[in-house]
Amino acid sequence: MHPAMTIWWLSIVLVAAAVAWMLQLILVRRFREAIERRRAREHRRIQTALLDLVDAKAPAVVLPGGRRAVSRVAESLAALTEVLRGEEVERIAAALRQGGLHGQLLASARHGSKRSRQCSIEALKVFPGQDTSDALRTISQEADPTISLAAWKSLWALGEDVALIDIARDAYRSRGRTLDRLELAGQIAARDPAKAIPYALDPVVSEPVRLKLVESIAASGRTAAAPALMRLAQSEENPRIRAAALRGLGRFTQCFTDDLLADALASPDWEVRSEAASAVALCRSASQAGRLAELLDDDVWTVRVNAGRALLRMAATGRRTLKHVVETGGSRPRRVAGFMLSGGGAG
């Protein structure tokens, strides 16, 4: 065959293959769109039925059968749990139990795809009761961190006691949903700081969990939090935890002693020095003016700025110190002190 003819036929074959491939993509896209439209219709129908229960417009609800339908109901119910409160939850739970959905969700929470199980587990937080709690506690011990976390979150939503050590588990494992675990740990600590304090003090607990606990314990504002934060601020070896404790003590300014501040200002870690300077700004401890003046020459900009701001908040003592630095200090501290005196550190 002539080479030109060969090239011509090859071109036709390639064009035909390209057209076929494009048609296939179009068909696949249309098929997926049809599935999504059907799924959206199912969700709307299910949500309408569930909302009728919430609004007491219907004494019961007829929901489609089959595993796939249970999964759809679980997704809609899990979404509704974010906005349902009090009597609304009781009303919808009673109607769905009567319709047999509770048992179906329990089964779906134990078996099926991960996505289906997760939705069913999250939906179960609408159903208070020992049977629900027992099932969720069993599921929470599974190796899959996504499934176990979903179970703990539902138990917490049901008002059940959840141990922080269980939430901290698997925080570093693949697909462990670390941020969700930390958020739940923070919620537990905020509700009961006393239970969280031992974990915040324990160096064996992972750093992200400890940081979240220190933050939540401090935010609680409870008197019992101050001694734990003081202990961490004084003797914690992890500089990030120590810095967080100093920051948290901002709610308990009476706890800032001269010895604590002086030791923290002299820390080899810049985060601790920075938070210590901010602490001095809060309590306006004029006895630290000399050390703050030294920190105006710190290698870290954040430390220098916080030290300058702390001096500004000391009123006359701080301004005298800054003016003295401008007149006698080295190049870098003079620039920082001048910047502060010109109003640059007012924020």
Both tokens of residue 222? 């409870």
Cβ(310)–Cβ(318) below 8 Å: yes
Both tokens of residue 253? 């300014």
Which of 46, 53, 56 minimizes the C-alpha distance to 119? 46
pLDDT tens-digit profile, the chain (347 residues): 566 677 777 777 787 878 888 888 888 787 777 767 776 676 666 666 666 666 665 555 555 555 566 777 777 777 776 666 667 777 777 777 877 788 888 888 888 888 888 888 888 888 888 999 999 999 988 888 888 888 998 898 888 888 887 776 655 554 445 777 788 888 888 888 888 888 888 888 888 888 989 999 998 888 888 899 999 999 899 999 999 999 999 888 888 888 999 999 999 999 999 999 999 988 888 889 999 999 999 999 999 999 999 999 888 889 999 999 999 888 999 999 999 988 765 55
pTM for this structure? 0.66
Report all structural domains of the chain as residue ranges with CATH numbers, in order of start.
Answer: 41-139 (no CATH), 256-347 (1.25.10.10)
Provide the 3-class DSSP secondary structure of residue 19.
Answer: helix
